[in-house]
With several copies, the nearest count.
Chain A
Amino acid sequence: MVRLTEEVHRLRRRFQERGEESDVWEVVQNARHRDRPYTLDYAERLFTDYVELHGDRVGGDDPALVAGIATYHRRCVVFLGHQKGRDLTERTHRNFGMARPEGYRKAIRAIELADRLGLPILTFIDTPGAYPGVGAEQGGQAGVIARSILALARADVPVVCAVIGEGGSGGALAIAVGDRVLMQENAIYSVISPEGCAAILWKDAGQAKKAAFAFRPIARACLDLGVIDAIVPEPPAGAHRDHDRAARLLDDAIRGALAEVEAEPAASRRSRRRAKFRAMGVWGMAEPDAAPAIT
């Protein structure tokens, strides 16, 4: 027997009220919509001005992950985000938003720059996942993801993250560790793609809809689980229908979150951020001398 708190029981009950499979799948499709605003679409609209930085200082520059310096409501910030492409040429150029180690090294460089200069960090998450190529693996994809998380964990400056499309696995999390993590209404966030999950658990990638319904990569679930701090509304029918309005809504949310974080004492920011993530996870306690089972 596993002893659960009343809170965990409530959580489990909430997840048992599952809603409609088609509703979850619509969000997945919106999150991946090719007219959805991407990181640089928001950069154009949120920032008074910005300059992109390039390169990992090791051997490459990854167009799938952009970083730069910007003016955001009269303060200098550093931003970074995955970047997808809209037409076929750009989608290929941007590798469908799947970053390689050089991308995460650029991210780490930008994070360290921000921390050194005392600039807040804004991140935009929108990737199916880190690129699973031979070269990427040989270049240490796993290690750079871990070190990008570490760099964000260590930063003394405010970090506000926004999941704006697909928050896919470690490649997303690598730049999604912040004092506030926001998520748009039609964004998704998950440990693996619905297709990947279906392939493993249902032995059939075609069962993606079913998998998405089961593991619920949607904002509401992330909020219930304490993984994100707020859901950012989108224009009716999705951000892809009105980029300007989506940007204004996102701007309101980021601006508010950043102001909150800036108002908190800087000296303890890292330990507060660590405490926030430490609290993520749900578990029970084994009842002594009982058969293993959750009821």
Chain B
Amino acid sequence: MAQISVDIERGPDEPASPHQGRHPNTCPVCSSHYRDDELVAALRVCRQCGHHFRLPARERIAQLVDAGSFQEAAADLRNADPLAFVDRKPYTERLTEAELATGLGDAMLVGTASVGGRPCALAVMDFFFMGGSMGSVVGEKFCVAADLAVARGVPLVAVASSGGARMQENVLALMQMAKTVMAVDQVRAARLPFISICSDPTTGGVIASFAALGDVMIAEPGALMSFAGPRVVQQTTGETLPTDFGRAESQLRLGHVDLVVPRAELTAALGRLLQLFAPSTDEPTADAPAPVPPPAGPMGWLRRLFGGAGG
């Protein structure tokens, strides 16, 4: 799964290409350069400055879930270009290019998996497929993930990475916002937790629909999470933007996010949440005589991270 530079569609204020003017393996913050295998081994996090590179969906799944546990669903859904849309090139051509470049049928993979031995339904977006934009297929796939969560009685976990709704499907893309929100409601009605993980970027119609509705909202460091992108805000209002406008850290400060979790710690954090939410019937029946004191050591980050009792 090599990183490729496609002419993706983005929020109007994203740079014209995610790697504009630089190699995709060059850190945009500190200009460190990595071989592809180095970057993959480092979870695509810059060892020098901690910058989180965007992560293809399959790499995300490989990092996040128990090895071999992912069972893909709805893999054969493909876009149908209902509007027979053409801008400077036909939508069908963009879809074909994206599929060839990413090996994905659309910008989301869904299925079931386990994390730390705890089962969940999973929906993971891929920014490299047309900017992770949400059209009919992404919307339907998210609903399939929600269906799986409800059918199996397991939590739903989503990893968003998207510039927003897919313009080439216009109102149909817009309706996916309603559709995915209703899927979250369906999970809620089944009394199951929904954990929403936002990576860079989670903007537009995705952060304004399912991605904002996590019972627990997790963001990766530096992830842009605004509805309107910084450039639109700047151009429309003429306001001066704070340097961390819309970024995960400011979203945490402003109360829109529960946790900002570095990628290296995401699997443990997610596993810990799934463990917390797990029904008590899954536990050993003998009651512990007293709560277990938190261990010190390598999991100390969890204490730091959560302000909690540690791993």
Q: Do A and B come into direct contact in the complex, CB within 8 Å?
A: yes
- Which of A22-30, A52-60, A233-241 binds B? A52-60
B208 lies within 8 A of A2 (CB): no
CA distance A105 to B175 in the complex (A): 21
Is A249 positioned at the interface, with any CB of B under 8 Å from its CB? no
A130 lies within 8 A of B227 (CB): yes
Which of these, A70, A132, A177, A227, contacts B172 with CB under 8 Å? A227
CA distance A244 to B259 in the complex (A): 29
A132 lies within 8 A of B170 (CB): no
Contacts A54-B259, A200-B12, A277-B178 known; A215 to B168 CB distance under 8 Å?
A: yes
B182 lies within 8 A of A277 (CB): yes
Determine how close the nearest CB of chain A comes to the CB of B300; give it in whole angstroms: 14
Which of these, A47, A191, A201, contacts B87 with CB under 8 Å? A201
CA distance A50 to B254 in the complex (A): 22
Interface size on B, residues (CB 8 A): 109
A215 lies within 8 A of B95 (CB): no
User: Chain A residues near B82 (CB, 8 Å)?
Assistant: 8, 11-12, 15, 225, 282
Is B301 positioned at the interface, with any CB of A under 8 Å from its CB? no
User: Chain B residues near A145 (CB, 8 Å)?
Assistant: 177, 208-209, 212, 227
Determine how close the nearest CB of chain B comes to the CB of A79; give it in whole angstroms: 11
- Measured CB to CB, the nearest residue on chain B to A15 is B84
Is A43 positioned at the interface, with any CB of B under 8 Å from its CB? yes
A154 lies within 8 A of B185 (CB): yes
Contacts A281-B172, A281-B175 known; A117 to B80 CB distance under 8 Å?
A: no
Is B186 positioned at the interface, with any CB of A under 8 Å from its CB? yes
- Residues 61-89 of A contacting B (Cβ, < 8 Å): 61, 66, 68-71, 73-76
User: Chain B residues near A293 (CB, 8 Å)?
Assistant: 92, 96
Determine how close the nearest CB of chain B comes to the CB of A149; give it in whole angstroms: 4
User: Chain B residues near A8 (CB, 8 Å)?
Assistant: 80, 82
CA distance A46 to B84 in the complex (A): 39
- Measured CB to CB, the nearest residue on chain A to B255 is A55
A133 lies within 8 A of B239 (CB): yes
CA distance A116 to B227 in the complex (A): 27
Is B273 positioned at the interface, with any CB of A under 8 Å from its CB? yes
CA distance A48 to B87 in the complex (A): 47
B227 lies within 8 A of A142 (CB): yes
CA distance A200 to B225 in the complex (A): 19
- Which of B36-44, B115-123, B274-282 binds A? B274-282
A169 lies within 8 A of B254 (CB): no
B81 lies within 8 A of A140 (CB): no
User: Chain B residues near A75 (CB, 8 Å)?
Assistant: 280
- Residues 197-253 of B contacting A (Cβ, < 8 Å): 204-205, 207-213, 215-217, 225-228, 232-233, 236-237, 239, 241-242, 245-246, 250, 252-253
User: Chain A residues near B76 (CB, 8 Å)?
Assistant: 285-286, 288
A173 lies within 8 A of B177 (CB): yes
Is B171 positioned at the interface, with any CB of A under 8 Å from its CB? yes
A137 lies within 8 A of B252 (CB): no
Determine how close the nearest CB of chain A comes to the CB of B285; give it in whole angstroms: 9
B140 lies within 8 A of A281 (CB): yes
Is A208 positioned at the interface, with any CB of B under 8 Å from its CB? no
- Measured CB to CB, the nearest residue on chain B to A55 is B255
Is A280 positioned at the interface, with any CB of B under 8 Å from its CB? yes
17 additional A-B pairs beyond A8-B82, A49-B272, beta carbons within 8 Å, are A51-B259, A55-B252, A55-B258, A117-B193, A130-B227, A132-B228, A141-B228, A153-B185, A173-B174, A196-B232, A200-B10, A211-B87, A273-B182, A281-B137, A284-B77, A284-B78, A292-B100
What 6 pairs between A and B have smallest CB-CB spacing? A55-B255, A132-B228, A281-B136, A292-B99, A282-B82, A201-B87
